[in-house]
Structure formats: C-alpha cells, structure tokens
Structure 1
Amino acid sequence: MEKILLNDGNEIPAVGFGVFRIPSDGSTYQAVLQALKAGYRHIDTAVAYFNEAEVGRAIADSGIDRKDIFVTSKLWLQDYGYEAAKKGLATSLKKLGLDYVDLYLLHQPYGDVEGAWEALEEGKSKGLIKSIGVSNMTPKLWQKFVPKFKTMPAVNQVEFNPYFQQTELRKLLAPADVKIEAWGPLGQGNSELFSEPIIKQLAEKYHKDAGQVILRFENQLGIIVLPKSTHATRIKSNLDLFDFELTDSEMATMTKLDKGHGSHNPDAPGVEEMLLSAFDVHEND
C-alpha cells in the first residue's frame, strides 16, 4: 500500500476504507473484515456513523497487528468544547476498543471549534491520538478557525471528486503541507460522472473500471481517498490502483471535468443549525 507523509511526520495509507452509512447491524463488521482481508490498512469511521464498535471488533478479530492498521475517527459537534471533547475522545476509544487512534478529526467546523481542538491537541500530547485534523472546512471556515490553533491540522477531510476538485482549498493548504482526504471520491455513485467520455476511454485503455480511473486520478493529485462499498468485488477493485499511471495530458483532461462545487456546501445558511440538531450521538451510551 502506498503511503503519504503528513506534516506531523506520520504516514497515512493513500487509500482508506470508509464506513459512512454502513449500518451497525453486523454489516460494518463484515465490511471491515472484508476490507482488511482485501488489503486495506486504513479504516475511516466517526462517532456520528454509529458503527465505531463494529469497526473495533472487526479490527480485533482480523488477526492483523494493531500497529499495522491506520484508524481514523471523528468528534461530533455535540462533544465540542474542551471538556466535552475529552470525554468524546474517551468514548470513541472505548467503543473502538483501542488505546489510541491514528487520526482524529473535528467532524464539522461549527460551535466551540477552538475548545474541541485544544482537547485534540492534548490527546495527541498524551499519545491517545497520533495525528489530528479537521473535516468539511472550506477556505472561509479554515481562515476563521485555523489561525487560532496552536497546532496545524495534518489533514482536512472534504468532499472531493473530479466534478469538485477543491482548487481554492488546495492552494490554501499547500504552503502548510496539509493533506486533503476525499469523502465521496467516486461522486457518491454519480452515474453522470461514471459516464464521462474521458473516463470511459481511460478505463478501456488501461483495462480498468471507471471507479479505478477516478481514484487513480485523485491519488496522482496527492489526495487521500476513502471509497466505500459493501460489495466484496468492489471493495477489492477500489484498492487495485497502483499498476497503471495516467499521463500528464490525461490528468489535464480529467482536471477539466471540475464544476467547482459539490453536493454539500458547509458555508450555506442553515447548515450549522441543521447539523447541531441532527441527532444525539450518545443516545445509546
């Protein structure tokens, strides 16, 4: 597995397995086991996915050394603020059954972001977290919060796919070597994206499927990708990216697919209020 060096000196596998919207009815457990068997060594979950416990159980039952698996989770808005965030991290570790997480993110950029970030910095200093980062931060939100942080985030996990290439954000993050992680790297199954002529042509040329071409494009841009699937064949194929390389001209043509916007706009009016009241992540604690 190819790895990417973060700005804090830690390494992260270039491809991770996302478990967003996979139910905690045994489905997450089975999907993570399949992913680990297929060769994934990077699992991305969150308290707001309500499946941390199944992720942790699959890791424990996989037979793979803990140090060989990169685990990401995320703190939900409900646990923002310094004291609440410390408890939220402890809860995540308990559910995962782990002594530490490799990466812990602020899931949404609203509320007491600064207090929550201070708790993550403390968790890192205590060895409970290896790397810390943020998620869903637009350039506007980044400029609002990050200049107040003592520690630069290692990553910003945002929506990213060929239709939304986050050009402005990438320019902003590059000087501090902050890596972008892509949620929805396949456009959340957008049939229009998969039918793009250039993607179909490249798939035929390289004897790959459209999804592999898309993920390889993102990988060559230096983006950490987090494809999600519950199908064994797709789980395996999404990892099979490293035996071909797009040319500079092919990359340039793919770049032209950018529409400059995605399905989610964290800056939009009402998003903060909607997410703050979305659900209770501790209702079953």
Structure 2
Amino acid sequence: GLKREDYYLETKLGPTLYENDHAIDDTLKRLGVDYIDVMILHHPVNNYIYAYKMLEKAYKEGKIKAIGLSNFQVSQIQEIMDQCEIPPMIMQVECHPYYPAEHVYDFCKKNHIQLQSWYPLGHGNSDMLEEAIFIELAKKYHKSTVQIILRWHLQMGFGLVPGSKSLDHIEANAQIFDFELTDEEMKEIEKVNKHTQFYKVTKESLQRLATTKCNFEEGE
C-alpha cells in the first residue's frame, strides 16, 4: 500500500546475463517497477565490462538510480573506471570486524565509492558474536552483541545488508541509532581483526558463478 518511492530496492545482475541486452528491462518487468534504486554486478566473471556498460545505459535512461559492483578486486574496479564513463557508486563486499574490507577499503574511500557489507555478522559465526569486547559493550549500552557489531559497521561508514527472516530480528537490527561507540571502543574492536574472509574464492567457485543460472535470472 506504500508508494514506490517509499521503498529502496536493490538487486544484482547475475553473471550469465552479462551480455543479455534485455536483462535489465526483464528485471524491471519481473519486479513490476519502473526503476530500481541500486543494481550491481554479482561477480567479476564473464564479460563484466559489457555488463557494466549496460548498467551505465540504464542509469542514463533513469531505469537505475545507482550502479555498482560486488566482490570485485581493486584491479578490476580500476579496469572498469578506466574503460567506462560512470564510476561505481557502490561496492558490496564481505565485511565484518574479523575482516573489515581490507582489500578495497582505502581504494573505495579515496574514490568515493560507498562500501556495503554482506556477511556483516560473520555469516552467523558465533565466535565473533562472543568476542569479549562485544559482550562488554553490549552490557554497557544495554544492547545485544549483534547490535554492537551493526553499530560498528555504521560508524565505519559501511552500508548494511544483515539478512533476517524474523520480524523481531529485523526490528532489533534497526535499533542502533540511539547510542554511539567511542573512538577508544572502535580502536579496541580493531584488535579482533583476523584478516580472513569467511567466503573463499576459488577457480571452481568462479567457474560455477560464471555458468550457473540463479533462480532470479530464470524469473522463478
């Protein structure tokens, strides 16, 4: 019952559609909307330069309000910036206190690309949620460890994509705007950095991504 502008709609273009000139229009039709707020390329496989130019064209036509990338390395982002007209506006990447987007953080900040976190809670990794610093801060601020970590993301300047199927969890995830971590607390959180991603990229995983159609690509 809400107006279209009351929703913020983000989606991805899957790798098997990177040379499909109708893919973006087909997405709009499937979703029943005139425009998408954000569309990003899913992975740096197949002809992602061509796909990015498709995003640019749709952006110029007003079909997409912001364009970006997901899981790209710095060299690949630079390649796109060198060959395309419109710099990426968003970079979606695995990011959490165990791995604060180290491989792209400085580059994206320098180039005014908004980082957006997926796996913001460590893909449900209980070890991170049970770190002493988060338990201590949760007690201090009368919050959950999840809320402390989400607040960390916010203060780091990351966009957040915490997944949840529970209405209670969704509401709790939004209750992070009534407190602020101090500079000293943010520095303490830096100490839990393990410099390790949960999602492991391999030649085999990239090959699967390059050739496997996702459900949303098939319109299911």
What TM-score do you get using the length of structure 2 for normalisation?
Answer: 0.94
- Deviation, structure 1 residue 138: 2.2
- Paired residues, what number? 219
**For the residues of structure 1 that align with 2:188 and 2:197, how far apart are their CA atoms?**
19
Is the 2:147–2:173 contact (alpha carbons within 8 Å) kept by the matching residues of 1? yes
Deviates more, 1:131-140 or 1:243-252: 131-140
**Which digits, 9 at most, give the CA deviation of each residue in 1:126-163, with x for residues without a partner?**
11001111111122432344322211000000111111
**Which digits, 9 at most, give the CA deviation of each residue in 1:84-143, with x for residues without a partner?**
0x3111121111110000111111111111111111111011110011111111224323
Q: 1:77 and 2:15 equivalent?
A: yes
Any stretches of 5+ residues in structure 1 without a counterpart? 1-62
- What is the DSSP-based 3-state SS (H/G/I as helix, E as strand, rest coil) of the residue aligned with 2:67? strand
What is the match of residue 278 of structure 1?
A: 212
Any stretches of 5+ residues in structure 2 without a counterpart? none
Q: Aligned partner of 1:67: which letter?
A: E
Q: 1:196 and 2:131 equivalent?
A: yes
- What is the DSSP-based 3-state SS (H/G/I as helix, E as strand, rest coil) of the residue aligned with 1:182? strand
- What is the DSSP-based 3-state SS (H/G/I as helix, E as strand, rest coil) of the residue aligned with 1:187? coil
Q: Aligned partner of 1:273: which letter?
A: Q
Out of 87, 109, 133, the position equivalent to 2:22 is 87
What is the match of residue 50 of structure 1?
A: none
What is the match of residue 244 of structure 1?
A: 179
Q: What is the percent sequence identity of the aligned residues? A: 32
Is the 1:202–1:213 contact (alpha carbons within 8 Å) kept by the matching residues of 2? yes
Instruction: Show the 5 A alignment for 1:32-43.
Output: none
Q: Aligned partner of 2:212: which letter?
A: A
Is the 1:93–1:99 contact (alpha carbons within 8 Å) kept by the matching residues of 2? yes
What is the match of residue 77 of structure 2?
A: 142
Out of 67, 81, 102, the position equivalent to 1:167 is 102
What is the match of residue 182 of structure 1?
A: 117
CA shift in 2, pair 1:155/1:283, >3 Å: closer
